[in-house]
Amino acid sequence: MKHYKITGGNLLSGEISVHGSKNAALPILAATVINNGKSIIHNCPNLSDVRNMLEILNLLGCRAEFVGRDVIVDSSGFSPKDIPYDIMKQTRSSSLFAGALLARGKRALISGSGGCCIGRRPIDLHLRAFGEMGADIIPTGDGILCVADCLRGSKIILDFPSVGATENIMIAASLTPSTTVIYNAAKEPEIVNLADYLRSVGVIIKGDGTGEIHIKGTCTPKDGEVEVVGDRIVAATYLTAVACSGGSIKIKSIDPGHLSSVIASYRKMGMSIGVDGDEIEVSRQTRLVNLPNIITSPYPGFPTDCQPLIVAAMTTSYGIGIVNERIFENRLGHCERLRRMGANIETTGRCAVVRGVYSLSGADVSSCDLRCGAALVCAALGAKGESVVSNISYIDRGYENLCDSLKILGAKIERIELNE
Ligand code: EPZ
């Protein structure tokens, strides 16, 4: 089992570039099935979740491989087949293939894409939308089968601005010449990045980044090309690392507008944050002050993926911080781990109350999910003494070489192998 061994107390300095966004790359990779041709995806992050998606693409007959920092996909060899449960189960976002398989292969079997430790992760909004587009939705012993000879343009109102459902509908509608409209659509930057890719293959899309998206598909898709945007959650993680350990760094290759709610919150806590083009300069010289009103909400609100991160920063900030997790029903697992490091956190339901202590102490902690792991690493950077963070395979899902990046910034961190 791989772990991170971290000795806290170093002030961070230097500069670091943010890699491409996991949550932008995954839906784009799923969408490459539809164009029966080549796609070049620039700045694609080399993460375990991405490699799982490439494995699925190759299983579907679409040759997909990394060439340097790009991924090249050739979907001309696509042969429709059901994705096996054990592969679907590995990556939640495998459910994003449903829209592409339905559009191109007229059939999609969705299995194993449900629940994880942060919540049930249902796909009812995806399925309801496919039904409105003319698909038959058939529960089977192996999962839920969606079948459609020909999808039709529809007006779809989402009960909740689900990121995955918005993406699946956009992809499913991409080969349908009549127009599909999504109301109450997700507005995340990753949605806009997916729309950029779909436009490159000839789909006409308007309104991406707003709550109303119009998609007019194409019967003759072309070769596609797109540049994956910088990962806003990774950038927020580096902000949090400085919040926890102090120092001053420059974060590059990121659109600061993509994490404006996080920057605003950290500024209110007392961090000095400057933005210029695709760079963020951040420093923390004095003790931060906690905020009583962090509520996670759909973009452009405070991102749920940054909730564990700001809780980690709150543990040693002055006063009482209150965080409400409104997106996922079970996303406070990091609090128990942070308490092991000496944090004073009470949780009731989806709310965490953090009473800042002067400093945390190093401890052995295990991550329970991707962003919990990142939060524990940040907390350990500022803690007194040595911490071991285990289950870091969760972290590998969303961060390329987090250990090396933090070392560049002056952190004392090692990736170690421990025999269990
Ligand atoms: C995406 O997940 C991200 N994953 C998540 O990032 C992110 O936390 C989430 O959006 C919210 O921003 C990827 O993009 C791969 P949702 P997704 O559909 O699409 C409920 C990370 O750490 N819902 O917007 O699954 C759902 O239960 C990950 O990088 C339904 O009820 O999120 C949840 O409560 C974690 N029915 C809420 O909506 C549905 O059919 C948000 O889900 C779909 C969703």
Does the structure show a pLDDT above 70 at 114?
no
Counting from 1 in the atom list of ligand 1, the atom nearest the Cα of 164 is: 19
Strand-strand pairing, 224-227 and 38-42: parallel
Q: Residues 282-305: pLDDT tens digits?
A: 999 999 999 999 999 999 999 999
Ligand 1 proximity of 23 Cβ (cutoff 6 Å): yes
Q: What integer is the mean pLDDT of 70-99?
A: 90
Query: Which of 186, 188, 240, 230 minimizes the C-alpha distance to 371?
Result: 240
Ligand 1 atom closest to Cα of 186? 24
Q: Which of 44, 116, 117, 219 is catalytic?
A: 116
The pLDDT of residue 328 is 96
pTM: 0.97
Grade residue 91 by pLDDT with cuts at 50, 70 and 90: confident
pLDDT at 340: 98
Q: How far apart are the first and last CA of the chain?
A: 7
- Total H helices, total E strands in the chain: 14, 23
Cβ partners under 8 Å of residue 222, min gap 6? 35, 37, 200, 201, 202
**pLDDT for 154:** 97
pLDDT at 116 over 80: no
List CB contacts of 57: < 8 A, sequence separation 6 or more: 29, 32, 33, 63, 64, 73, 75
Q: Is the pLDDT of residue 7 over 70?
A: yes
Q: What is the pLDDT of residue 120?
A: 83
pLDDT tens for each residue of 120-177: 888 999 999 999 999 999 999 888 999 999 999 999 999 999 999 999 999 999 999 9
Determine the 3-state secondary structure of 52 from DSSP: helix
Q: In which band, very low, low, confident or very high, does the pLDDT at 220 lie, cut at 50, 70 and 90? A: very high
Q: Is the per-residue pLDDT at 396 higher than 90?
A: yes
Q: Tell whether ligand 1 has an atom less than 6 A from the beta carbon of residue 26.
A: yes
Active site residue 116: yes
Alpha-carbon distance of 103 to 106, in angstroms, equals 6
| CB of 185 sitting under 6 A from ligand 1 | no
> What pLDDT score does 149 carry?
94
Q: Which positions ≥6 away from 277 have C-beta within 8 Å?
A: none
Q: Residue 94 above 90 pLDDT?
A: no
pLDDT greater than 80 at residue 92: no
Res 336: pLDDT: 98
Give the pLDDT score at 113. Answer: 67
pLDDT score for 141: 86
